[in-house]
Structure formats: structure tokens, C-alpha cells
Structure 1
Amino acid sequence: MELETLVKGLEIERINGSLDKDIVGICYNSRETKEKYLFVAIQGFKTDGHKYIEDAIKRGATSIIVEKDVEISDRNITIIKVKDSRASLSKVSSDFYDNPSKNMEMIGITGTNGKTTITYLVQSILECADRKTGIIGTIGSVINGELKKTENTTPESLVIQKYLHDMHRGEIEYCVMEVSSHSLDLKRVMDCNFDVGIFTNLSRDHLDYHETVENYFNAKLKLFYMTGKCNIINIDDFYGQKIVEKISSLDIPVLTYGIRESSDIYATNIEYHSRGVDFVLNTPKGSIDINLNIPGEFSIYNSLAAASCGYFYGIDLETIKNGLEAVKGVKGRFELVPTDKDFTVIIDFAHTPDGLEKVLTAIEKFREGRIVVVFGAGGNRDKTKRPIMGETVGKYADFLIVTSDNPRYEEPEKIIDDVVEGVKKVNDNYIKIVDRKEAIEYAIKNAKPKDIILLAGKGHETYTIIKDNIIPFDERQIVLDILKKLND
């Protein structure tokens, strides 16, 4: 693609060099640079892409986009200084891949909890209606059945546009995307042509980045000004109500869903059990019984969000029912590990006070024995939520094992102590075990009949992060290995 064509529409401050160049690829990581590439230098959390411009040139970059003044000795290299490198990366990535989001239905899902499960529920409903659907999200991107791992809930804009291009080329009609607050704030989805936006809920999270809940909310809010066809909002959530109020002047239809407040799509006749939850799904076009295979009230909300999306796209209630009931579970989301024992092990990604409360209240509805929770808090993340997490778990658990969870550059013992400050306010039945594997083994070895052991925080992750090291850590396999050792 011609460089001159590619940079049209950017907020350019200065150009040094020729725009008469053929660009065969784009990158923002210098190690991925090849001949005739355009390198976009962006400021990251850990380092600055401007430091790696010389490396990108050595690897073959012929053109560079920057937002800072740089000195390049090679006069054959074109330097384009822009106001905002991140915004420019989004724009050139979309243009390079021929604006793929305009060629399919784009469904964006944002909120603190529930995003991943809703993506899979929406995909199931759409595919039951014979509509090919791809996913971009926390577990990875799914394109024609192939799972591609991603580093973030919502990848960098270049990666998003490449995946959307692959989806369009694979004749995928719908893309369901988890849209994180970071991605909205960092302009990763700036050039995604969203048709439908879905809001799940909002509670304190990522304050290490956003600093205040209000900033966090405002980042999420951006999605609902980017949609072209419909916004779907959880009206039971305080921040959902705020969104409805703020976007009321927009010429975009709003569908609300909930259990308690008056809404367009809602659940009645709710019955909880250990295998899932049964309820009646009510819509403006009728009602139908749903037998969901995922337990908990949060699962009803997730189902209502997905059903609302199916309803908007004109899918009949029987097909919506089939789509919801076809999902047996999502990896790392209230995932039961087969134990062949008289106790139960559940793995869940819950890593916020609200997420933990939702999972624990779901367990509370069907538990017959003790609730034992193995959990910790992430390092180099919002420290203020640690004691709140501890207090939340302490209110519901009969026994707590406080341990490590991706300590990164912090001392695990200090993180654990922060969590325990909250635990001690409400519960004395806890122990501290720094090594997470040892903590899981302790829980299993000391399990009593009918116990439910919740391993919270890691969910789908198959690694742990200690300083710069990413170490394999698959909780499912660890549980199975411990059980096998006990049986031998």
C-alpha cells in the first residue's frame, strides 16, 4: 500500500522524507519489523517505542511514525511526526487492512465482570441461527474455530484489525469483542465500527491505571458513543442507569435488561441449583423457559445480555433458548474440575471484590458443606482493593487460604498481608501459604465431605507472573496431579 495513501487523515505535524513508498506491513514492536515496513513508535507502560527506532530501521523499516522529535541519520527513512501515535496506529492499521469492521456486524461488550461469558453466549446464539461468528477476548480470538492467544483482553489496534481482516476473509459475518477500559482509553478500538454495545456492570477495578472509579466509568462510557445500531444496558446496575441517562439524547435505540428494575428483557420464576439455573426469559415478543447450565445470579445477567443481543438481531426465542442452553461453561468461569471425590473444586477468574461476591453468593445458594477459598491479589495492581477482597471473601467463606496470584515485582508476602488486613475484620479461620501450588494441595488434602473449594483469581490463565518470568501454572492440571498423587 502506498505510504501517501496510508497516512491520509492522520494529524500530521511534520514530514521528513518521501511519501512515495510501498508499505508491505506495519508494526509497533521493532522485533517484528521486516523489509518495507512502517514502524509506529508508541509510548507503552514499561518502555517507549521511540527507543527502538534504530532497531526497526536495521530490520528493514523504511518509514517511521513518531509523536516525539527524533534524529535519524539515514536520509532514506521517512519520518512522520503526528500528534498522537496510538491514534495513528489505529487509523493506519484499519486502512491497511481495508477497514474490515465495516464489512461485518461488530458487537462490543464492556463492564467489569461477565464480558468473556457473554461473548461465548452471544456467539452460541448467533451460530444456532446459522450466522458465522468470531470472538476477540480474554481467552483469545476465535476465527473459524481456531483459538489464537492474545496478550490483553482487547489487543493492540494493529492486532485487532488483522484479526478482523482474517474474519472477513473467512466469511465471518459477526464479531463479538470484549472491550476493556484500557482499550477504550488507549485508542485500541478507535477505528472499530461498532454496531451494538453491551454493558454488563461496573465495580472498582484497574484503579492502578484509572485512579478513580469515575475515570474508569468514563472510559467504559466511550463505547456507547461509538455504536451505530443499538446499545444494550444492564439497568439493575447503578452505572448502567447512568449510561442510559447520559446517552438518552443519542439517536440510537437502547435495550435494557435486568431482574429487579423495569426493563425490556427480564427474568422471572428463577430457580437456582448446583447444575445451573432455570428461569423464564421475557421479551417484548414473548417468553420462554431457559434451563441454563451455569449456576448463579450473575449467569442470569450474562444470559439476559446475550438474549437481548439475539433479540435485537431478530433471532426467534426458540433459537435464543437453544443458543443459551448449548453453552455448558466457559474456561475459567465457574469451571468445575472433575475430582471423583465427595468434594467439589471450582476454578473462577474472579479477582475483584464484586466478582468474588458474585461467585460466592452463587455457591451459597447450593452449598451443603463448607466453602473453602484459595485466593490472592495481583502484584503491581490496585492495592486499595486487596483488603476489600479479603473482607468480601471472609464474609462468605468458612475457611480461607490466602496465597499468591501473579505477584509480578512485589513481594508476595506483602500482598498477602494486605489481603489479610481485610480478612481479619470478619473471619479468623484463615491461613497464609505463599506458594499457590502448596495452597491448593493443602485445600484438597484437608477437604471434608461436601466441601466446595473455590480457586479464585486465575481462571483461564495457565501461567503465573513473578517479576519478568512467566511460569507455567495450569490450576486444572495441578488439581488433577494432586488427586492422582493422593490416589497412588
Structure 2
Amino acid sequence: MAALKTLLENLDVTVVRGTTELDVPDVVYDSRKITKGCLFICIEGANFDGHSAAAQAVEKGAAVLVTQKEVDIPADAQVTVLKVENTRYAMAFISAAWFGHPARRLKTIGITGTKGKTTSAYLVKSILENTGFKVGLVGTIEVIIGDTHIHSDNTTPESYVLQSYMARMAETGCDAVVMEVSSQALMQHRSQGFVFDYGIFTNIEPDHIGPNEHSSFEEYMHCKGMLFRQCRVGIANCDDVHWEKVMEGHTCELETYGLSPQADLRAENLRLTNHNGHLGVAFRVGGLMEFDGEIAMPGRFSVYNALTAIAICRHFGVTEDAIKKALKEAKVKGRIEMVKVSDEFTLLIDYAHNAMALESLLTTLKEYDHGRLVCVFGCGGNRSRLRRYEMGEVSGRLADLTVITSDNPRFEEPQAIIDDIKTGISKTDGEYIEICDRKEAIAYAIDNGRPGDIIVLAGKGHEDYQEIKGVKHPMDERELIGEVLRERGR
């Protein structure tokens, strides 16, 4: 039970009818979950507008409606109707108050950017926990609260859900929470209702532009920049050509990281490493901290992820030795995740599921001294066919061998998807074979691995299922690899 007036603190509210002198036993934003006496927030979504359920909510016993436009309800209804400019924004503040402002009991870290959010978040969690902090995580793969792991449906959940997670983190003794903050979440005010202690910008590329996402690249940049009007300290990758545009109007203290000499925290003297098939990068950290480090993940972008984590953890007083240890042990499920199958060649799993990500990944791996670069991938069904052509062309151009297989066919025939990929690969002179069954494709790549090869299983990453005809069947590539090795007595 909470006083309505307490829930409305920090909000500009117009009382259309009724009174705010009452207590509410529940806060609800899903019309299917109305309870007697609750406060119901009318959210305008892509597929359903909660305002259309206002009369139904009153009928079920809702005592308060929070709206951003007029609603049609009976004239004699005993209900308080409150109007705000934006109900999503209001929901964030109402939810924060409902759960007792949990962010005030945590150090809050928000990471935004086109790429690098997931890996950076796990690195931060790992480094801080190695130093004795207890850290919750909210991200694309999962939400972690103590020993509890919750599957994620969105990179950043609705504000009510986010506040409930943070409340649980505070209750279980977490000191901090690190979260991935998507541009969609910022646009829809899911991360409002509190001020982040640290906001981080990794990079930005033209992505997430289209229906139900962002109308333009300019809007995408603007939404990313919203985080820096909602944090105390902003940390930005100053090597990104758009970083100053993203930071326009920032209200936070600002510091930078990158490879450029102008960065406050920088990495210098990069050197690719390969320890018995374990690929990484060694570098010198300069500026705000100074030490020699190495991250156990390949590529220049891994150095940026490391710098992101170092820049954050510096504010927590973490020692150089603790940072160095965590970077050497770094491993994030489905993000250039190396799986040991042989001393002679490298096998890794990555979530790269579009042409941009695949090109970045394969280009990075080609920089290493290696045998063949083998790419095993498929494409999802009921998605753009253009993605299949583009990914086929990228793999054909950059990989020495492509093994075309199945991903999540959904309601399409796997062979039809493979044929589209072949259309793209045929524009190159890249060598390829097709093996529809994903386990058989992985087995082929392992059985035919040669000394020095780098084998990439692309597209599935952290996913532990395969979606066929509307059903998600259990399928984890790590388990498939284990089965293949056991069947061969290895």
C-alpha cells in the first residue's frame, strides 16, 4: 500500500477528476493484470493502447488512471483520473517511488552504444566482483540478481520491471548494478526515475532505424545522448566520430577513453596475442591509469571494451592487479567466446547475426596469423532476405571456407534460407559447402580443422534454442560441441 501523493512526487500531474488523497495497493500497466483499488497506467504501445482499456480497468476496480490523452469512461465512475504529458515517463517515476527508490541504495552504471554494451557490462561485473563488490546486471542476455539468472526479453526492460529488479538487488545486498541501456529504452523513458552514477557511451553506427525503432540516424544519436542528461559522470569513447554530437546538451561531468592521444584514459602499443589458440590483445594503459594489460578476447574492439570497463572500475577504487586479472580471465557467453576443442586450432562462438557484425568479426580475426578462417552460419527465417544475401557475400569475401547451415528457420523452410545465402555468396569466389543440420555443420568444421585454423560459429551466440515452426527447441552450441567431442572419444 502506498500513498498516491508519494507516488506522484517529481511529476507534473493534472487532476482531471477525483482526488489524490488516497492509498493504492498496487501499480499496474498491463490491462490484463488489473486488481481492485490499483493505479493503472495507460501505456500507448506499438500494438495496443492502454487508453482503450480505461473503461475495462474501471469496471475491474482500478481506483486511479494515469493517462496522456482523453479516455472514455462512465460519467458516474468512482475513479481518479490523472493526466500527464507522457505516461511512460510518469511510469518510471511512479515505479521508482512504488519500489522505494532502490537506485538510491545502489551505485548505478548505464552503458549505451551500438556495439560493446554486453561485453563491457560483463567485464565491469567481473572486475568489481573480483574486488569484493556484489553487482547486479541487466542486459541483453539475462538479468543477474545474486545467484538468480532471469532470461531477458529486452535489452532494457520496462521501467516498472527495471525498478523491481533493482529493488531485489538492493534487498539481496548488491552494492551496484550495471545495465545495458538501449536507445529504445531511452526513447521510451524506461531508465528514467533515477539518476545514474555513471553513464557510458561506447560507439554509434547507423542501426535500429526503421518502423517501430528510430526515424533517422539523428534521432538515434539524440536518444543515445539522453543518458548523459541523466547521469552524474559521463564516460565517452572519443574515437567515435559522432561522440561530441551524442554528448550535446550533457549535464554530467565528462571524461573520455580511446586509442587517441587526446583521450583521458587510453590504450597504446596494441599487440595481438595467440596462446595455444587463445586469441587476445596486449596493450599499455596510459593517462588516468598506467599499467600493462591484456584482454583474453581478440580484436581492437575488445580493447575498447576493456577500456570501457577500466574507465568505470577506476571510480570504484579497483587496483591495477585486480583489473589485469579480470581481463585475462574475461569470457562473455556468445560474444567472441572461445571454446577449447584443440591445441591446434581456435573455435569461437559469436552472436554476429547481420552483415555489419559479421564483417567486423571476420575482419578482426583475419588480422591474426592463422591458417584458414572458417565461418559456420545460417540466417533467421521470417526476417529480411536482404540480410541473407549480405551475410553470404560478407562470408564469401572474407572467410576461406563458409559452412552454410540452419539458424532459427521459424516458419520458413531451412533450405529456402540457405538458397538465399548462396545467392549472396555466389557474388564472390568464396569456397562453401552447405550442411543444413547445425550439429552436423559444427561436427564437419571440427573434424576438418587444420593447424592454425580459426573456426567461427556465427549467429546464435548466447541463444540456447532453435526456433522451428513457432516452437523453441533446446539447442546450445556449447552442448553441441560437447556432444561432437564425446562421440569422437575426445
TM-score computed with the length of structure 2 as normaliser: 0.85
Match of 1:37 in 2: 38
Post-superposition shift, 1:397?
0.8
Check 1:302–1:71 CA distance in 2 against 1; reply closer, same or farther (3 A cut): same
SS at structure 2 position matched to 1:273: strand
1:298 aligns with 2:301: yes
Name the % identity: 39
Q: Which moved more, 1:31-40 or 1:98-107?
A: 31-40
Match of 1:324 in 2: 327
Check 1:285–1:193 CA distance in 2 against 1; reply closer, same or farther (3 A cut): closer
For 1:57-96, list aligned pairs within 5 A.
61-72=62-73, 75-96=77-98
1:370 aligns with 2:372: yes
Check 1:371–1:167 CA distance in 2 against 1; reply closer, same or farther (3 A cut): same
For 1:294-443, list aligned pairs within 5 A.
294-325=297-328, 327-340=329-342, 343-366=345-368, 368-378=370-380, 387-406=389-408, 420=422, 422-431=424-433, 436-437=438-439, 439-443=441-445
The answer for unaligned runs of 5 or more in structure 1 is none
Post-superposition shift, 1:199?
1.3
SS at structure 1 position matched to 2:178: strand
SS at structure 2 position matched to 1:207: coil
Conserved? CA contact 1:204–1:352, under 8 Å: no
Post-superposition shift, 1:348?
0.8
**What is the distance in 1 between the residues matched to 2:410 and 2:14?**
39
Check 1:236–1:205 CA distance in 2 against 1; reply closer, same or farther (3 A cut): same
Conserved? CA contact 1:258–1:265, under 8 Å: yes
SS at structure 2 position matched to 1:210: coil
Instruction: Please tell me the root mean square deviation across aligned C-alpha atoms, in Å.
Output: 3.3
Q: How many residues align?
A: 483
CA displacement, residues 429-486 of structure 1 (integer Å, 9 cap, x when unaligned): 2355666455445544555554432111221111244565444332222232344445
Post-superposition shift, 1:330?
1.0
Which of 214, 227, 235 is 1:210 aligned to?
A: 214
SS at structure 2 position matched to 1:238: coil
**What is the distance in 2 between the residues matched to 1:212 and 1:384?**
20
Check 1:93–1:460 CA distance in 2 against 1; reply closer, same or farther (3 A cut): same
Check 1:458–1:34 CA distance in 2 against 1; reply closer, same or farther (3 A cut): farther
For 1:142-157, list aligned pairs within 5 A.
142-157=144-159
Match of 1:263 in 2: 263
Counterpart residue type for residue 162 of structure 1: S
Check 1:15–1:353 CA distance in 2 against 1; reply closer, same or farther (3 A cut): same
**What is the distance in 2 between the residues matched to 1:42 and 1:467?**
31
Match of 2:138 in 1: 136
Check 1:8–1:226 CA distance in 2 against 1; reply closer, same or farther (3 A cut): closer
Conserved? CA contact 2:273–2:282, under 8 Å: no
Conserved? CA contact 2:228–2:252, under 8 Å: no
Match of 1:238 in 2: 241
Post-superposition shift, 1:376?
3.8
Post-superposition shift, 1:118?
0.8
Post-superposition shift, 1:295?
2.4
Conserved? CA contact 2:224–2:246, under 8 Å: no
For 1:448-467, list aligned pairs within 5 A.
448=450, 450-465=452-467
Check 1:337–1:282 CA distance in 2 against 1; reply closer, same or farther (3 A cut): closer
CA displacement, residues 167-211 of structure 1 (integer Å, 9 cap, x when unaligned): 222332222111111111111112231121111122232223224
CA displacement, residues 207-240 of structure 1 (integer Å, 9 cap, x when unaligned): 2322433332222122122211x22111222223
Post-superposition shift, 1:269?
2.8
TM-score computed with the length of structure 1 as normaliser: 0.86
CA displacement, residues 7-33 of structure 1 (integer Å, 9 cap, x when unaligned): 355454564455454323323334545
**What is the distance in 2 between the residues matched to 1:364 and 1:16?**
66
Match of 1:188 in 2: 190
Check 1:54–1:221 CA distance in 2 against 1; reply closer, same or farther (3 A cut): same
**What is the distance in 2 between the residues matched to 1:423 and 1:482?**
27
